[in-house]
Every structure is written in structure tokens, then in C-alpha cells.
Structure 1
């Protein structure tokens, strides 16, 4: 039972759940209420122009239980995660020099109440949530600190972009890492776009911004 990101239930005066058609199983607690998102991704031509390659595109499921009208109910949300990477020559070998990810999460509202745990997260918290899910060859990034913020024109509006710096390793050597991340609501979905690059490859910083600016949503799948 999959629905769009609209409020599907209303709380009755006695705290019970009043149904819209087709949600009987959810109201009785026999099955979860499902929400789906639309995929977001950088434009294909920008991916090619910046030298990135599509690595993985997948739809994952987020599950949670939330109390609605005094009753616990289960929810499922489809999350689209698209990963891209760019290879560079380093010490005579080809290595991943930078990575980019585009995530879409459905808005999840029932009886005027959000059941999406990501709604109130800051960009720093979203980074923690999704950094480990991005398909990449890089090692762990530690000691992440927030830096400056700026704006980019993305999907027709000015969006805030936060910069973070951290530490990782490349071929056993410590390296400084830069991360750029933006998040915003668009067409009923929460979109999260972020790029990860070694500061040794500073030119990739501009390419990450180009990928963000070229984002398209929704994309037919």
C-alpha cells in the first residue's frame, strides 16, 4: 500500500484514527503505511562534463514506528540514493578523487503530524546520517568540523550550502577532506545533495557545485 506524500489520516475527536479509503490494514495495525519519494540526480550532461560517472542508483526502505492519536503504528518510506564518483591519478595509480551523492526522502505526514525523523535534522546531522550510506572507496572521515556557508541556485531557488572539513587517508597517508552539503524540500520530498573530495584535488570543489546546481527532481524511474 503505497501513497504519495500527503496526509492520509485524520485524528478523530476520541483520539481514534479515521480512515481514508484503502488504509484499513494500517488503521488496524496489521500493515505499515508506505510513502514513496521521487529520485533526484544531477543532470546527465553535467555528470559527463565534470568527469564523474554514475556508480550506483538504488531505492532503500526506511522503517519506523510512531505514535499517532495515542496508538503506535508502523511506517515505511522509500529513499532514493544516487552515487557518483570521479577517478584521479595518484602516485601512479587510479584512485577515487571525489564522490557525489543525491538523496530523496519522502515527506511523511499523518493527521497533520510529521513521522519523518529527518525533518528537524540540521545539515550536520544529515551528513552523519547519510555519509556512511554513500557508495565510495574512501576510508572513514573523522574529526568533521563545520566551516563556512554559501548559497547556490538549485531547482529554481537560492539554497544554503554548508561546508565541512575532516580527516581521512589516501594510500595510507593522512589527507584533509572537504564536504559540501545542502538540504531542502522540493515537490513534497526532502532532498540532500553532498560532495566529498580531498583538498589535494581542489578543482573538484567547483565541480561539486556544478553537480548541485544541475540537480533535477523529480526524475522518472
Structure 2
């Protein structure tokens, strides 16, 4: 049985009984405990303003086995949302998909008072290494990524810390600098990871990445 935080909070006594039954099945080994996340995504208006196009939206399932007190192992299943967007930019007289943005939502996962979220407590640099595969562009591999600066940005009603990283990539036989902006924070029971990347020389895209971050809705209402 799948339970979202919204349904549990809204269901009252009946929902509490259903949740108790589900947890009992989990503890007894009769089924996995399931966690659902809500999709996070920038608004259509922000995408139109910045010129980004939807590349892919997908919901993935994460399954893992956790150990409860007493050494008992049980299965946990979670749904993770990933929304990716790209933009064609001009470089060396040609237009190509050179800028990208992604929003990832991972449910908070706690069993017997212990977090079983595989990315819980990761730094933004560790999250960047983990989630770079969510963004694809024509730059190819981005290497030698280093932290450059941090700054505050208002996202979803609060001030969030955004980290800026600089990496190296190859394009048309030349090495270019790629700038990456990343922020991660908890919101309504989910961990959100927002990432924007683009050639550093394209200063307009730096501002566009911030526009997309500021516009993000969670749960997405589009």
C-alpha cells in the first residue's frame, strides 16, 4: 500500500489506521514500506521567459533493503521525480543544446526513527556528482569540477543557499568552462535538488538559471 504525506495528513483517523496497518505489514515482513514524492518543476512562464524546452519528465522507483533494530531486514520502495529541460545556445556560429536545467524530488524516508534516504546529509558537491546524469547536453563529460562561490536565493518562500561550480568540457575540439548552479533543501517532506548548467561565457544563462530556480513549484501545479 502506498502512502503520501499529503494523504496521511488529510485523512484523519481513518488514514491513521490505514497507515498503522501498512507499517504493521512492513514490520512483519508482509510487504515493502513505500514512500512517494511530489514533482518539482519550474513554471511554464519561467520556461518561456528563459527559452528552455522540456526534455524529459520521469518518475523512477528506488528499492532498497534496510536493517531494523534487532537486525531484521525489510524492503523499502520510493518514487523519485526528475524533470529535465534544455536550451539551444549559440557558440562558434552554431546553435546547439548547450544549457540545461533539472529539478529532482526525493521523498523523505524514515523507518523506526532512522533516515534511509540514500542522499540524506550529502553536501551539494556530493549531490552534484550523484545527479549530473540527470542532465544531458552536447558538451559531453564535465570534469575537474570545483566550487566557486555560494549565494542566497529565494525559492519556495524561503532563502536557499545556491552553490556555483566551474568545470571543464570539450566542444568543437576546444576546452571551455561550464558553470553549474545547484541548490538542495527540504520542502514539504521531500528533498529537492535543482541544477542549472551552461557555458560560463554565456552570462545571460546564469541569470536564467536563477529565474528557473525561483519559479519552481512543489508540488508542481502545471
Normalized against structure 2, the TM-score is what? 0.88
Partners of 1:203 and 1:21 in 2: CA distance = 53
Say if 1:144 and 1:167, in contact at 8 Å, map to a contact too: yes
The CA RMSD measured in Å over matched residues stands at 1.9
Give the aligned partner of residue 13 of structure 2.
Answer: none
Give the aligned partner of residue 115 of structure 1.
Answer: 116
How far apart are 1:126 and its partner, in Å? 0.6
How far apart are 1:142 and its partner, in Å? 0.5
User: What does residue range 202-221 of structure 1 map to in structure 2 within 5 Å?
Assistant: 202-220=203-221
Paired positions, count: 210
How far apart are 1:199 and its partner, in Å? 1.0
Give the aligned partner of residue 53 of structure 2.
Answer: 53
After superposing on structure 2, the runs of 4+ consecutive aligned residues of structure 1 that deviate more than 6 Å are none
> Per the alignment, do residues 87 and 104 of structure 1 end up closer, same or farther by CA in structure 2, a change over 3 Å counting?
same
How far apart are 1:72 and its partner, in Å? 1.3
- 1:64 maps to 2:93: no
Say if 2:40 and 2:81, in contact at 8 Å, map to a contact too: yes
Say if 2:98 and 2:137, in contact at 8 Å, map to a contact too: no
Give the aligned partner of residue 172 of structure 1.
Answer: 173
- Comparing 146-155 and 111-120, the one that deviates more: 111-120
Partners of 1:191 and 1:55 in 2: CA distance = 19
Give the strand-richer structure, 1 or 2. 1
Query: Aligned with 1:159: secondary structure?
Result: strand
Query: Aligned with 1:218: secondary structure?
Result: coil
Give the helix-richer structure, 1 or 2. 2
Q: Deviations over 1:145-169 (max 9, x none)?
A: 1111000010010000001111011
How far apart are 1:30 and its partner, in Å? 4.5
How far apart are 1:4 and its partner, in Å? 2.2
How far apart are 1:172 and its partner, in Å? 2.5
Query: Aligned with 2:219: secondary structure?
Result: strand
- Comparing 29-38 and 55-64, the one that deviates more: 29-38
Give the aligned partner of residue 138 of structure 2.
Answer: 137
Give the aligned partner of residue 20 of structure 1.
Answer: 20
Runs of 5+ unmatched residues, structure 2: 9-18
Q: Deviations over 1:38-66 (max 9, x none)?
A: 00001110110111111100001122221
